[in-house]
Structure 1
Amino acid sequence: MDLFDQISGDIKAAMLAKDKVKLEALRNAKKCFLEAKTAPGANDTLTDEAALSILQKLVKQGRESARIYTEQSRPDLAEAELAQVAALEGYLPQQLSPEALETEVRALIEKAGATSLKDMGRVMKVATAALAGRAEGGAISAAVKKILSQ
């Protein structure tokens, strides 16, 4: 079962359980999936990789919104955003720890033959593809920069 079908089924389960927070988060994700499926050139298909990318984007946006709400002294809204983020995080693969990320980035740098910060673009292209879904782009970039500047 692909991620689109899984979320569609979980929407029904959330309705039956009367879980409003999860239902809202999943409906938002499904809306984004449908937009991606009907985009020009998508041929009415959505791969699991594309669906994961959409979920990661929604989680990142939710965290950013919660941070802004907290800065503006609106903990009620921040709490609601974080609850939706938690509902979506269950569909993402386990994130790499900083140590595991650094180990994988070192291996990718060796594989790419990179030696200095000038090679960062080449390494980032390989690393973001290899670590997609398991680490955020900012964390990958920081690890690559740290290792290449040593």
Structure 2
Amino acid sequence: MSLKDTIDQDIKSAMLAKDQAKLRGLRAIKAAIIVAETEKNAGVFGSEEEIKVLQRLVKQRKESAEIYEQQQRDDLLAIEREEIEVIENYLPKQLKREEVESKVLAVVAQLGASSMKDMGKVMGVANKELAGKADGRTISEIVKEVLSV
């Protein structure tokens, strides 16, 4: 069963359960997937693309949550956090920072990277290996820490 079919089924069950927070998050996922499928040059839309869409949704909501937190808008902050939780349920399990760090160290050793000049090479390989399993910002921070030592 594809993610889209799973989302459709979960929307029905959320409607029956009258779970507004879950319903809001699921509808956002469905809308984002439909938009991504119909974009120009979308090509084949598989599970890898679905994960990218979900990651983008989580990133958008985290950025919005930061803004709401700064503005002390707890009502809107709660909504964003609820949606983040719903969307993250459909993403692969995220690695812990220590696990990401060990993978980045392995990539650095594999490529023989030694300075910040090699950051682009390391990021390219690390992003491919950790796609869907870690946030790009976290990977970038760890690569910078490792290469600046």
Give the TM-score band, short-chain normalised: over 0.9
Runs of 4+ aligned residues of structure 1 deviating over 3 Å after TM superposition are none
Cα distance in 2 for partners of 1:35, 1:94 equals 25
In the alignment, which residue of structure 1 is the partner of 2:5?
5
Alignment root-mean-square deviation, CA = 1.3
Cα distance in 2 for partners of 1:78, 1:24 equals 14
How many residues in Structure 1 have an aligned counterpart in Structure 2?
149
Shift in Å, 1:113: 2.5
Q: How does 1:136-147 map to 2 (within 5 A)?
A: 136-147=135-146
TM-score computed with the length of structure 2 as normaliser: 0.93
Cα distance in 2 for partners of 1:119, 1:141 equals 12
What fraction of aligned residue pairs are identical, expressed as a percent? 47
Cα distance in 2 for partners of 1:36, 1:146 equals 34
In the alignment, which residue of structure 2 is the partner of 1:32?
32
In the alignment, which residue of structure 1 is the partner of 2:71?
72
Q: Are 1:21 and 2:21 counterparts?
A: yes
Cα distance in 1 for partners of 2:119, 2:135 equals 16
* 1:56-112 deviation per Cα after TM superposition (whole angstroms, max 9, x unaligned): 111111122122112212101111111111111111112111111110001111222
Q: How does 1:63-142 map to 2 (within 5 A)?
A: 63-142=62-141
**Cα contact 1:33–1:46 (8 A) shared by 2:** no
Gapped runs of 5+ residues in structure 2? none
